[in-house]
Amino acid sequence: MSTRGERLLTYLILGFFSLVALTPVIGVLSTALGPQSSLSTGFTLPEGSPEWGNFADAWDRGHFGTYLGSSVLVSVAVVTATTVLAVLAAYAFALMRFPGATVLFYLFVLGLTLPQEALVIPLYFDLRELELTDTYWALILPQTAQSLAFGVFWMRTYFRNSSPTVIEAARIDGAGTWTTLWRILVPMGRPAISTMVVIVFMWTWNEFLLALVMVSDESHRTVPLGLAFFQGQQNSDTALLAAASVLVALPVVAVYLALQRRFIEGMLTGAVKE
Amino acid sequence: MRAAHRRAPGEPRAVGYLYVLPALVVYGAFLLYPFGQSVWLSLLHWDGLTAATWAGSDNYRDLFTDPALRAPFWHALVLLLFYSALPVALGLLLAATMSRIRVRGLTFFRVVLFLPQVLAMVVVGVAWRSILAPDGLLNDTLDAVGLDALSRPWLGDSTWALPAVGGIGTWVGTGLCMVLFLAGVQRIPRERYEAARIDGAGAFREFWSVTLPGLRAEVAVALTLTIVAGLRNFDLIYITTSGGPGNATSVPAYEVYHRAFETNQVGSAAAVAVALALMIFTLTVAVSKLVEGRRG
């Protein structure tokens, strides 16, 4: 096969699959800007000028403003807790030796393959016993635990690869382990930490099953849960549903477009064992 | 002598426990402990309200004997073809065609192809319900090209609902595989292709002897990620079909929720959950063994 032919074929394949990847996204965007109370359940094209008011309606009438508030609160809490706890634990796993360290580390790695379905039943009954269902704690604590598997694994790799001479220099300057971590290794590790932050943010933001099980009152609903209920309503309008979908997806997509390298790197290496 | 030992592989310090402790407390209380409880619950008959009774291995035996429980696992295996095998095959197809050239605009293609991975599955489900609806984009397209005979309510058709849901999984996974293999194929040394060509290898043999072995690590990652995602597909099933029509698209992940929170069969749900976890673990290990075994 000639190189020219191969080049053409490659671009055709890339172009075709890019189009396939974008079609549902464009369809939802176009429907979100289309007229309300259209009878079609499929995608629609905007008639005349785009209806930006659909977003305002989804925000107010669809209560997505409230849901977004819940999602932001839960995401910020999970990301913050995961980052602090994962950095501390990974630092010890990477640079200190203590009996049982390997076993404990593998316990964390195990969490990478454990599906949420295998946890959610007892979590529901336990948290209901503690009267924590229908609170943000029921979303924050389990999601922090699940994110720690990735966080500890990811940050340990970073600390393992950090320069021993830098650590040695800090020690000669009289810095203890605590100071070395926060003054030197964490500032140097900003790229690794930000990759972890965006991945954990995405997982938390998109989480559905846990919210479905834990939350029954409307005031604690996160955006994916809100969207699912919105779709379940008999008379939900196609344009509003599409506008709501855009509101749900937009924060993660915006971060993705800004930091795509970190996203792809983090998601593809999360599964790689050493 | 102590100084010599102190450096590698890490410093012996009991203070390590203090650093690990906070993470371990949260992880233990909200992941390890509930998993242990799931295993315990799977050995009980329990409706979630009244006192539980001991079931022993009953719930697990039902996984093999009860058709209503066998079906979800069978569906999960069928869906893995769509979620995992098909995306990997399509990704390899792309890798094979582009192995000898440099692609311009790679960043653009990578960002677009990977986009389905970052969308919430709830959003993906809503979008695809529109496409697969009776008056949706797929049927409209079929009508437009004169294939009206093929159009149908995809998600409501007991034969076609499972492949239709599978197709959504293929859409989600294909970009991931392509992005992985795009990066991988560019790391294969050019000399190997030149050597193969000097040996008179055609495009097909070149793929088998150079591209595929060169992508072994990437294929393993792609299989692992897509298998795990394919078996954890609760969100998509809940949004698109709720396991229906009938139980045509019920999968273990959905059955766990359905049994535990809708039909009060908590013990049985826990058994499905533990079996699902074992299935994911086994397949993940098998993939990594398969890849390591062929190495060298």
- Which residue in chain A has the smallest CA separation from B236? A208
Going by pLDDT thresholds of 50, 70 and 90, the confidence category of residue B120 is very high
Nearest to B234 among A10, A24, A209 (CB): A209
ipTM for the whole complex: 0.90
CB contact under 8 A, B20 and A94: no
Determine, for residues B116 and A208 on separate chains, whether the beta-carbon distance falls below 8 Å. no
**Which residues 6+ apart lie within 8 Å of A198 measured at CB?**
A255, A256, A259, A262, A263, A266
List the single residue in B26, B123, B224 with the smallest CB-CB distance to A248. B123
And the tokens for B282? Answer: 């086994």
Q: Is the pLDDT of residue B129 over 80?
A: yes
Highest mean pLDDT among A103-112, B27-36, B285-294 belongs to B27-36
Residue A13's pLDDT band (cuts 50, 70, 90): confident
Tell me: pLDDT of B223 over 90: yes
pLDDT at A31 over 60: yes
* Dist. CA A149–CA A110, nearest whole Å: 7
Query: Which of B116, B235, B281 has its CB closest to that of A209?
Result: B235
- pLDDT at B296 (0 to 100): 38
Strand partners, A74: none
User: Any residues with CB less than 8 A from the CB of A159 and at least 6 apart, and which?
Assistant: A90, A91, A93, A94, A95, A185, A189
Task: Give the residue among B218, B289, B196 at the shortest CA–CA distance from A269.
Answer: B218
Q: C-alpha dihedral over A81, A84, A88, A94, to 10 degrees?
A: 100
Q: What is the mean pLDDT of residues A141-147?
A: 96
Domains and their CATH numbers in chain A: 66-269 (1.10.3720.10)
Does B12 have pLDDT greater than 80? Answer: no
Q: Do A256 and B10 touch (CB under 8 A)?
A: no
Residue-range domain boundaries for chain B: 1-41, 59-294
Give A-chain residues touching B110 at CB under 8 angstroms.
Answer: 260, 264
- Which helix (H) or strand (E) segment holds residue A159: the answer is helix A137-160
Rounded to whole angstroms, how far apart are CA atoms A29 and A250? 11
**Residue A273 pLDDT greater than 50, yes or no:** no
The answer to whether residues B120 and A246 touch, using CB atoms and an 8 Å cutoff, is no
Nearest to B26 among A24, A116, A148 (CB): A148
A64-95 and A137-160 helices, crossing angle to 10°: 40
Does residue B102 register a pLDDT over 80? no
Tell which residue, A249, A247, A244, A241, has the closest CA to residue A206.
A249
Pick B118's closest partner by Cβ from A85, A113, A253: A253
Contacts of residue B22 in chain A, CB cutoff 8 Å? 84-85, 88-89
CB pairs A-B closer than 8 Å: 311
User: Residue B244: which region, alpha, beta or left (left: phi > 0; alpha: psi -120 to 50)?
Assistant: beta
Q: Please judge whether A245 and B11 are an interchain contact, meaning their C-beta atoms are less than 8 angstroms apart.
A: no
CB B168 within 8 A of CB B236: yes
Q: What's the rounded Cα separation, in Å, for the pair A226 and A67?
A: 7
Handedness of CA B275, B276, B282, B285 (dihedral sign): negative
Lowest mean pLDDT, pick from A14-23, B89-98, B257-266: B89-98
Token look-up 């070395």 returns A180
Q: Which of A203, A244, A26, A12 is nearest to B117 (CA)?
A: A203
Query: What share of chain B has pLDDT > 90, as a percent?
Result: 60
CB contact under 8 A, A206 and B121: yes
Q: Which residues, in sequence order, are CB contacts of B117 under 8 Å at separation 6+?
A: A267, B172, B175, B176
CA atoms within 13 A of residue B48's CA, in its CB half-sphere: 19
pLDDT of residue B294 exceeding 80, the answer is no
CATH fourth-level superfamily of B59-294: MetI-like (1.10.3720.10)
Tell me which chain B residue has its CA closest to the CA of residue A207.
B120
pLDDT band at residue B1 using 50, 70 and 90 as cut-offs: very low
Q: In this predicted structure, what is the pLDDT of residue B125?
A: 94
Mean pLDDT over A234-261 rounds to: 88
What is the arithmetic mean of pLDDT over B166-192?
90
pLDDT at A271: 47
Q: How far is B172 from chain A (nearest CA, A)?
A: 8
CA atoms within 13 A on the CB side of B282: 7
Q: What is the mean pLDDT of chain B?
A: 89
Q: What is the mean pLDDT of residues B63-89?
A: 95
- Residue A179's contacts (CB-CB under 8 Å, 6 or more residues apart) are A170
Per-residue confidence band for B65, with pLDDT thresholds at 50, 70 and 90: very high
Residue A224 with chain B: CB contacts under 8 Å: 120, 122-123, 235
Residue A145 exposure: Cα atoms within 13 Å on the Cβ side: 27
Residue to substitute from B13, B20, B129, interface A, most A β-carbons within 10 A = B20
Q: Taking CB atoms and an 8 Å limit, are B10 and A81 in contact across chains? A: no
Task: Look at residue B70 and tell me whether its pLDDT is greater than 70.
Answer: yes
pLDDT of B165 strictly over 80: yes
Q: Who's near A265: CB < 8 A, 6+ residues apart?
A: A195
